[in-house]
Structure 1
Amino acid sequence: MPVTIKDIANQLKISPSTVSRALNDHPNISDETKALVSAKAKEMKYQTNFIAAGLRTKKSNSIGILVPHITSSFFSTAIDGIQKVVSEHGYFTIICQSNENYHDEVDQLRSLLSCKVEGIILSISSDTKDYEHLETLTAYDTPFVFFDRAAPGFDMPTVEANDYEGGYQAVEHLVKRGRRRIAHLGGPKELGISQRRYQGYLAALKAYNYPINEDYVIFTNPEVSHEKEIEEMFKDKKNMPDALFTFSDELAVEAILKLKKMGLTVPREVSVVGFGDSNLCEIIEPNLTSVTHEPKIMGEAAAELLFKVIQKRHIPKHEKNLKFDSRVVIRDSSR
């Protein structure tokens, strides 16, 4: 049986109401009693009943997280960081995924609100073009923070990676490795982070006076296979790209596996650079060079920012929109 407030009260021979107020840092309870109750609660492995506490205080002590894919290495690592901070604040998380689908995003957001979460960390789906559901959040003063993917036109706190910088650095790395025909396997064309990585790719090519070949650029749908597109890009051995920068590590792994099927060697004939620095980088052979932006630290920052919004604390302008630097982690796929 779980330990209750009454059990602690019986051990200390004080009233349950005194124990409850001590655990909730009530100003009428002395520091000595608070310390005594806290020590006994820890000794007895007492755990707060968040549901009961929410009913008493009209607070749920919960934070909602809504991301496109929980299985994505980037988002799962970020969630780890979010949960660390949320737990330190005495809250718990409710995690949902939209599966890159607008209607699922709306439904999951509605579910989070029905659970009376006190704030939401949100990364919009690639399918989301209508933002009425987000306008509802602002209309009802629901605290939320955009994470990695933000909707345009909303003056809300945002935590994101410097995707443009990451795209530029990836191509610059390939240029310095002597590659001359650098292709790009991008994400969904309408997605902001996909466009920023693509713009970084273009900027690096221009900076080094490389020609821009439209045949070397493919925008993708993350929900389907791209083997045919990759095969088409690399079928002409004389004019095929000698390097490939991809929107994600998942796309990079798919590309490497397809190139191997086609009899091409990585990195001797084609260098490959992914984006995300996920666990996949160490699993695939050769190990994948990738752009990293520290998703766990980004997740921690998003949670801290959300609690500032919940507590209605002043957020300086330079802290309201946090952008994390990117860097290339070099491995065998581009050496």
Structure 2
Amino acid sequence: MRSKQPTIWDIAIKLNVSISTVSRALRNAPDINPDTKKAVLDLAHELDYQPNTIATSLRKNKTDIIGVLVPEFVHAYFPNVILGVQEVANAAGYKVMIGQSNESLEIEKHNLQAMLSSRVEGLIMAITRETNEYEHIQSAQRKGLPVVFFNRIVDELQGSKVLVDDYRGAFRAVEHLIQTGCRRIAHLAGPENLTMSRNRLNGYIDALKAHAFPIDETIIMPCDFVEGKARFCTQQLLNRPDRPDALFAVNDPTAIEALVCIQENGLSIPDEISLVGFSNAPHSAFVTPPLTSVVQPTNEIGRVAARLLLRQLAEGPDFVPETQTLDTTLVIRKSTQPVLRAV
């Protein structure tokens, strides 16, 4: 059976003082006898008294809590973003409530409602791969909840957004493949409804066009972040008589599924087929061969998102939503050939 938490009533009764006296002592108010304050604080410590933050927030109409809602924790990207959020939020005196939706729209709705019930003051979120209707988010915004979006962003949702330069990152990755001698480069793409996926696809296409390569839509394969689908799509590409000599994947988990499939087919990376990912997940440096990937500044994404949300909370109705775009870099490892010549 759960033991009862001590309250300020318990302290007041034991010391035979008023509730207001205990409250002033705990708040370190100046208008209280020092001996009384010491007695209150000593007893609070002895009882392991913890303030009722819910009651306090109701009195203040302020919880000092911000929510972070992400689609999954399977990969390191979202936990690393959250570390950046916590760094900024904690320094500003805010606590962080975290929810992950297991790539489920229904769980996302449930988590959002739980955060609203907990009276979070603002929200930082990336939607799930299933999220194709947005009324639950728009309804929260109409009720006055400030929301900052990152990573999984769609045009239908309004508010501040934190992006990386997906287009330029993809362009660099594909251009690197071209500079290593690859001539038939396939793309394992993300969900079409996400701005991120479209920008990476456009970067892929424009890099090919910039080097006068034809665009073959039959080797652009939507994988949609569904586990196992990248392996299926990669196998389809490998079965072709005009098999690609390189793959550019929408993210590292997709690239690693492709890597496994390629090796199961007895092909050598990068001697027979090159591979580039996007996101530079921590384990990408430890697969065999280590994966060439586009690096995203995940901690900084979280920090920027938190700063935007705190500004919106401070400025209130005067705040104008912003979109901030962070740059990427390409880390070259052993899944691609050395650059042969300037192309």
Report the TM-score, using the length of structure 1 for normalisation.
0.83
Q: Which residue of 2 aligns with 1:231?
A: 235
Q: Which residue of 2 aligns with 1:326?
A: 328
Q: How much is the aligned-residue C-alpha RMSD, in angstroms?
A: 3.0
Matches of 1:323 and 1:69 in 2, distance apart?
23
- 2:194 pairs with 1:194: no
In the alignment of these two chains, the number of paired residues is 313
Superposed counterparts of 1:1-335, under 5 Å: 17=23, 20-22=26-28, 50-226=53-229, 227-236=231-240, 239-312=242-315, 320-335=322-337
SS of the residue corresponding to residue 66 of structure 2 reads strand
Deviation track 1:6-32 (CA, whole Å, cap 9, x = no partner) reads: 8xxx9xxxx75555545xxx8xx69xx
Matches of 2:323 and 2:83 in 1, distance apart?
21
Runs of 4+ in 1 over 3 A off after TM superposition: 15-22, 46-53, 313-317
Matches of 1:152 and 1:210 in 2, distance apart?
30
Specify every segment of 5 or more residues in structure 2 that has no aligned partner in the other structure, as ranges: 16-20, 338-343
Tell me which amino acid in the other structure corresponds to 2:193. Answer: E
The 1:223/1:48 distance shift into structure 2, 3 A limit, reads farther
Matches of 2:56 and 2:287 in 1, distance apart?
47
Deviation track 1:191-240 (CA, whole Å, cap 9, x = no partner) reads: 2211111111001000110111122110013233132321120124x621
Tell me which amino acid in the other structure corresponds to 2:310. Answer: F
Structure with bigger gyration radius = 2
Specify every segment of 5 or more residues in structure 1 that has no aligned partner in the other structure, as ranges: none
Q: Percent identity?
A: 35
Matches of 1:120 and 1:311 in 2, distance apart?
14
SS of the residue corresponding to residue 315 of structure 2 reads coil
Deviation track 1:296-330 (CA, whole Å, cap 9, x = no partner) reads: 1110110111111111269886x821011112111
The 1:86/1:49 distance shift into structure 2, 3 A limit, reads farther
The 1:147/1:48 distance shift into structure 2, 3 A limit, reads farther
Matches of 2:314 and 2:253 in 1, distance apart?
38
SS of the residue corresponding to residue 79 of structure 1 reads helix
Tell me which amino acid in the other structure corresponds to 2:93. Answer: G
1:65·1:95 contact (CA, 8 Å) conserved in 2?
yes
1:121·1:306 contact (CA, 8 Å) conserved in 2?
yes
The 1:62/1:193 distance shift into structure 2, 3 A limit, reads same
The 1:60/1:281 distance shift into structure 2, 3 A limit, reads same
